[in-house]
Amino acid sequence: MSLFAKNVMKMLNKFFSTRLELNYKQLVKNLNYLKRNLGDKTEIIAVLKANAYGFGDVLLVEKILNQGIKIIAVADFEEGARLRKIGIKNPIIIMYPGVNNLEPIIENNLEPTIYSLTMLKKLINIAKQTNEIIPFHLKFDTGMNRYGFSQFSDLDEVIERIKSQKNIFLKSVFSHFSSSNNIVDTTTTINQINNFKKLKQIFNLNFDHIVNYHISNSFGVLNFPEANFDMVRVGYGIYYGFNNSKSKCIASLKSIVSQTKNIKLGDAVGYDRKFIAKKNMKIGIIPIGYADGLRRSWVNKGLSFYYNGISLPVIGEISMDSCMIDLKEINNIQPGSEVELFGSNRDIFDLCSSLEIIPYELTSCLSKRIRRVIV
């Protein structure tokens, strides 16, 4: 993009009252930080599920691929098809396909994850009706008790059915850590790693072609390097980083003050008169509400916007399209003044801690009304 085009885009972005600013340089730093913690033989699968955790899959996918990433993983068919529609040719793993949408997944050159015997049988039936070889991935449950074949009861039948078919091609076998962020009690993760190593050994004995193996997520990359097999699947580490000097969250959520008001002692603010002014005060109206991802329950948990480093608490009920803040008699705040929910004033981890949520919950629930922009 030319300098002129960048300046035009920057100017246009200012027209959007509420926006999620994404720091491209920080995204590159986060990816490089992950790469430095991996061996040369371990490949990164970039996870862009849930609209890239709310940061914007269409906006970020090419930026991520330009950093040498070759494989993408998403949750479902719709997410994969959206990336195909904008011209992405790279392999895209569908991690949680439904049994009834295997056909469109295959038709769109997407690679399904098979995690049950029902799905495996369906895949084989589809393969029998085509002359093309269908690539796919297998997921085993090694202890999380979520998606995946049972490692112990399903294994023999899974291998037998796959080996008997010529039109399906097993690309990888994977599982998922339940608590790789826990370095105090590592028992569960170590058990999962050991279970997965047994799986790896059995599959290597049964298949002549190269099968890739992956179980590590972002925290697994750092905390359990012995589990960084052929591939790792990372999303958190790309978007949120690890909250240190070299790896940080790429985003800042900003909005503006749409209107200011002076209210008197005893005046109510918002629906149901939940806030009553205890003194004469100045308030601001911010054009972001629960339709944009702010929960009404957060008002009593430290939800604030920031202006030049000053915390301005949200008061009264959050409305569908707006919320109100206490301006604390700051005289230079005017309509159009910029405020920030998280970013340089307050990092996303501190905010989420006070709200008693995790960063995933916050960003993945931000609505499409919020403009995502790369800065």
Just list the catalytic residues: 49, 271
Taking residue 206's Cβ as centre, other Cβ atoms within 10 Å add up to 15
Q: Is 288 left (phi over 0), alpha (psi -120 to 50) or beta?
A: beta
40 contacts: CB under 8 Å, gap ≥ 6: none
Phi, psi of 369 (to 5 degrees): -65, -25
Distances (CA, A) of 179 to 21, 192, 218, 267: 30, 10, 11, 48
Alpha carbon of residue 371 to chain centroid: 17
Token pair of 213, please?
């193996």
Q: Contacts for 309-317 with beta carbons within 8 Å, 24 or more apart?
A: 309/345, 311/346, 312/284, 312/339, 315/269, 315/270, 315/275, 315/283, 316/268, 316/269, 316/270, 316/271, 316/274, 316/275, 317/270, 317/271, 317/272, 317/274, 317/275
Taking residue 228's Cβ as centre, other Cβ atoms within 10 Å add up to 19
Q: For 153-172, give one letter per residue: b (16+ CB within 10 A) or e.
A: ebbeebbeebeebeebebbb
In this structure, the strands spanning 338-342 and 251-256 are: antiparallel
